[in-house]
Structure 1
Amino acid sequence: MRIIIGLCVVAFLCFESPSMASDKVMVSTLLDEMISFEKATEFPEPYYTCKMVSSYDRRTVSPDKDWWYANDDGFGCMRVDTVQGRVEKVMFDYDGPGAVTRIWMSAHAKNGILRFYFDNEENPRIVIPAYDMPRIPFKVGDALSLIHTNYTPEGLGGNTFMFPFPYQKNCRITFEELDKNRNTWGPRYYEIEYRTYVSGTEVETFDVGQVNTHTMQEKIQDVNKTLWNPSTFKGGKRCEFAMDIAPNHTSAIDLPLGNHAIRSLLIDVNCRKGDYAKMMRQLILKITFDGKETVWVPLGDFSGAGLGAPEVNSWYMDTDGRGHIVSRWVMPYKKNAKIEIENLFEFPVWMNVRAHVSEWEWSKNTLYFHTTWKQERGIEITNRYDDHKGNHMWNYITIDGRGVFRGDLLSLFNYAPDWYGEGDEVIWVDNDIFPSHHGTGTEDHYNCSWAPVVPFHTPFGGAPRADNPSSHGFNAFVRTRNLDGIPFQKSYKFDIEMLSWNPGKVDYAVTNYWYGDLNSKVKQSSGKEEILSQLPYLM
């Protein structure tokens, strides 16, 4: 049964999508893109690929060969060079036009020297006297240089560096070990994500002097403030309902016709009876654009929180852990759109759902917003890192079609006694022969290090839930992508190795956030049968 109650109030003038002009790529334009909700809706022009190089175990060469699950992930590099008498491990060396968009690093010790070379120059433009990005010789602010929760200046822990490094011809990043004894310094973990633009794209190569100017430092400060305090659009046409939704009933809002976009979505839930965690899993958000449902997800998972719907503070999503949710994902459509909430919970739920909608100028690169959800219970995890036949991958999502991947939430229950996330993520894009993203561990993908983890929040996601120091029980990780969004023209596939410290089982529920054409398809997702499954911890 469906009840449709909708109210739209005109509160502001229309908004047009950003220009598609192919301007020069510079630090300043990349920072502007990073804090543009609107830009995230576009398939990139000029086109670029997003790939990642990491310190993954180099015995890993193919899924059908031994050592695919090899886990000595702290010693891999591209090669070793001798430069002016120095021995330098080459961590990154790619030709442009391009831009480094994310550098994740962690280690047992930070002694050594990092060097950044640009455009095939003999001398580095950046020298850092440690395996430690926070010591870079200019200020970027704490939103662009994320210190991990277990970081110490001299020893354990790491950092995720989100400040971009554009380059026209080439960028090379190396590390010199001052102590040659591997047993002294131990593993050096890293992940470096980068864009490669189509040939002919004009890029202004990174320059320390330009970044240190007063004008640029002011801009960097403003970007930091904006990332920590994102503005929620409250103008446009306000469309909402406020009512009790009975069990097994649906309430909906039909949005204004024609070229428009949902600019923000605010939802308040009041649980008068029953268990809050179970309710937030059994309220289903559905959004249909131009006749096709592209969003189907439990409300607590849509918020980036997962089971229990705890607090989240991030760029795209906020929730206070008590039923107030704010979404800043921009969702364009051409003809019509509808927002629905279906109540699969056993009691009536009072809800207020409010969308702020503005007019939108559609272009050939405008994409639809998609959110898909998948759950599997009783997945085996193992610690047989070198046993090819004894391990397996688990698929987050497989997409056929064109789009840009923008983030994921992993919400889980861990039956094993301790850390479940030793496995690496691997992402296959379009015609990849080897995955264009091969990570170094689950927590590394989610911008932290050294499991188990504790709850934390950043503009780019975090760990909303970690109930036990051992990681047994409930856990949740969320990551959203700004400059590190991954475009795909034909297909996108995200798998993760199911490796752990000790054998056991996990229940995984994954929410994926992405933009794509209306006909882009997900191969496998979950529905009501998983929502209503008898999870022992929600009974």
Structure 2
Amino acid sequence: MNLPDIARLRSVSTRSISPENFDGAKAGGGRATEGTGAACAADLGPGWKISPSVDVAGLSTFEMASIDEPGRITHIWLTTHRDNWRTLVLRAYWDGSDEPAIEVPLGDFFCNGWGTFAQVSSHMIAANPNGGFNSYWPMPFREGARLTIENLVDRVATVYYQVTYETGPTVAEEAAGSGYLHAQYRRSNPLPDKETHPLLTAVEGRGQYVGTYMTWGVNSPGWWGEGEIKFYLDGDAEEGFPTICGTGTEDYFGGAWNFDVPGQGYTAYHTPYLGMPQVLRPDGLYRSQQRFGLYRWHVVDPIHFERDLTVDIQALGWKSAHRYRPLHDDISSVALFYLDRPAAARPAFPHVDDLEVAGEPMDPLT
């Protein structure tokens, strides 16, 4: 959004859903008389931070937001303990659909998939010390929206959140001509021999691909990012060859030459639209492998498709005689795209055991 857009007067109302105003009602905030902060506010009374968060029971689903009119979510802020980043699942349902358009582990949606904090300073996602997660992906809907958080493990998760959205005649008109935001999660751990990691498979409809977040755990010595990303558009998959073909993993994420700054080795970076904000090095104990977090937002360069879209990426290193070596790495991805319909074909969501981060037990004793 540029300055003229900000200054332009629109027929819009701003609302916000949080534990202090569960339905976003006008003048509905700060009215709680019970909540996670009630004991702290015992000397102050109503209006003094009585309900700043929610406790999501183990093995349950909490409805974070429910909106029953046309609108557009403009910002989500959320925080919870890092132990919950892979065991809480964020889902979004548009216009009464029974199937979620967004279905992603919480940390991965906010570019923190390894359960260890990474500062992310980008246009669409900001992750700030120490686990303040922000999304600026526009999420328009024509009739209503529902956001949920599922707790996959048998322990309580305390979550603080705020969902800001717009509503009103202008927003309704804009939403009518907009696609729905989708986000799909996949993990290959390990990637099978001579196979590619799928980011999207046979998504049907008209839309545009707008973003990729990946975690990459390296399971062998040497360089790991020689593989190409491929976008199969509008029947390409039937031909077996893509219209858009990258030149290497580090190239796709805007880097070059192994992300290696001489004297520093792998070097983390984050920019408005692409970055590698996380480089996790072996610690000599349980964290035995190098691990990376990377993002690329196709905001100014969206990839348009009219009929269908499939996306995959190779995992390649090197072997003798300067030959490519297929790798068997631990790769996960979040693929973001706008589509002309509120639901799309998506993979079965992984079992909680298959979300575990190596060296980080899902249910720690401490």
> Alpha-carbon deviations, 1:41-89, whole Å to 9, x = none?
xxxxxxxxxxxxxxxxxxxxxxxxxxxxxxxxxxxxxxxxxxxxxxxxx
Task: Output one character per residue of 1:314-352: Cα deviation in whole Å (capped at 9) or x when no partner.
Answer: 000101252211111111112221111112244322111
Match 2:184 to one of 364, 368, 372: 372
Query: Which of 300, 309, 325 is the matching residue for 2:107?
Result: 300
Paired with 1:374 and 1:410, the residues of 2 have a C-alpha distance of: 10
Residue 380 of structure 1: how far off its partner (Å): 4.4
* Amino acid paired to 1:513: L
Q: Structure 1 pair 418/286, CA: closer, same or farther in 2 (3 Å)?
A: same
What is residue 446 of structure 1 aligned with on the other side? 253
* CA shift for structure 1 position 496: 1.6
1:255 and 2:66 correspond: yes
Alpha-carbon distance in 2 for matches of 1:319, 1:380: 32
Equivalent residue, structure 1, for 2:49: none
Deviations 1:361-403 (A, max 9, x none): 235531111111011211146xxxxxxxxx4433211211111
- Percent of residue pairs bearing the same amino acid type: 24
Q: 2:130: which partner in 1? A: 322
Against the structure 1 CA distance between its residues 396 and 344, is the aligned structure 2 distance closer, same or farther, given a 3 Å change threshold? same
Judge conservation of contact 1:263–1:328 (CA < 8 Å) in 2.
yes
In the TM superposition, residue 255 of structure 1 has moved relative to its aligned partner by 3.1
Show the counterpart of 2:89. 284
Q: Which amino acid aligns with 1:510?
A: S
Bigger relative contact order (CA 8 A; separation at least 6): 2
| Residue 233 of structure 2, aligned match among 429, 439, 444 | 429
Q: Which of 433, 456, 459 is the aligned partner of 2:272? A: 459
Moved more, 443-452 or 252-261: 252-261
Distance 1:532 1:521 in 2: 23
Cα offset, 1:473, TM superposition: 2.1
Q: 1:319 & 1:407 partners in 2: Cα distance?
A: 16
**In structure 2, what is the equivalent of residue 264 of structure 1?**
75
Cα deviation, residue 491, structure 1: 0.7
Once residues 350 and 196 of structure 2 are traced to their aligned partners in structure 1, the CA distance between those partners, rounded to angstroms, is 25
- Does the residue aligned with 1:251 lie in a helix, a strand or coil? strand
Partner of 1:501: 318
Unaligned 5+ runs, structure 2? 7-12, 20-52, 260-265, 283-287, 320-324, 362-366
CA apart distance, 1:513: 1.1
Normalized against structure 1, the TM-score is what?
A: 0.51
1:401·1:520 contact (CA, 8 Å) conserved in 2? no
Letter in 1 for 2:89: I
Q: In the alignment, what sits opposite 1:404?
A: 208
Aligned residue number for residue 80 of structure 1: none
* Structure 1 residue 352 corresponds to structure 2 residue 155: no
* Corresponding residue of 2:338: 515
Task: Give yes or no for contact 1:457–1:463 (8 Å, CA) kept in 2.
Answer: yes
In structure 2, relative to structure 1, the CA distance for the partners of 1:538 and 1:265 (3 Å cut) is: same
Q: Report the Cα distance in structure 1 between the residues aligned to 2:108 and 2:69, rounded to whole angstroms.
A: 29
Deviations 1:152-171 (Å, cap 9, x if unpaired)?
Answer: xxxxxxxxxxxxxxxxxxxx
Task: Name the structure 1 match of 2:39.
Answer: none
1:538 is matched with 360
The letter of the residue matching 1:514 is F
Residues 57 and 157, structure 2, Cα contact 8 Å, conserved in 1: yes
Instruction: Give yes or no for contact 2:205–2:341 (8 Å, CA) kept in 1.
Output: no
Secondary structure of 2:75's counterpart equals: strand
Bigger Rg over Cα: 1
| CA distance in 1: counterparts of 2:18 and 2:148, whole angstroms | 11
User: What's the secondary structure of 2:250's corresponding residue?
Assistant: helix
Distance 1:263 1:464 in 2: 24
Per-residue deviation, 1:291: 1.9
Counterpart residue number, 2:303: 486
* Distance in 1 of aligned mates of 2:87 and 2:220: 26
1:301 match: secondary structure: helix
In the alignment, the residues of structure 2 paired with residue 480 and residue 317 of structure 1 have an alpha-carbon distance, to the nearest angstrom, of 9
CA shift for structure 1 position 290: 1.1
- Contact 2:90–2:106 (8 Å) recurs in 1: yes
Mapped pair 1:525 → 2:347 = yes
Larger deviation: 306-315 or 458-467? Answer: 306-315
Change in Cα spacing, 1:430 to 1:250, as seen in structure 2 (3 Å) is: same
Q: Secondary structure at the match of 2:18?
A: strand
Query: How do 1:17-416 and structure 2 match up within 5 A?
Result: 35=1, 236-241=14-19, 242-269=53-80, 271=81, 276=82, 278-292=83-97, 293-308=100-115, 309-320=117-128, 322-359=130-167, 360-362=171-173, 365-380=177-192, 391-398=194-201, 399-416=203-220
Match of 1:378, SS state, is coil
Deviation at 1:525, TM superposition (A): 2.5
Alpha-carbon displacement from aligned partner over 1:220-261 (angstroms, at most 9, x marks no partner): xx9xxx9xxxxxxxx711111221212212221343322111
How many residues are paired up? 294
d(CA) in 2 for partners of 1:367, 1:517: 5
What is the one-letter code of the residue matched to 1:448? Answer: G
Determine the C-alpha separation between the residues in 1 that align with 2:315 and 2:214. 13
Q: Which amino acid aligns with 2:143?
A: K
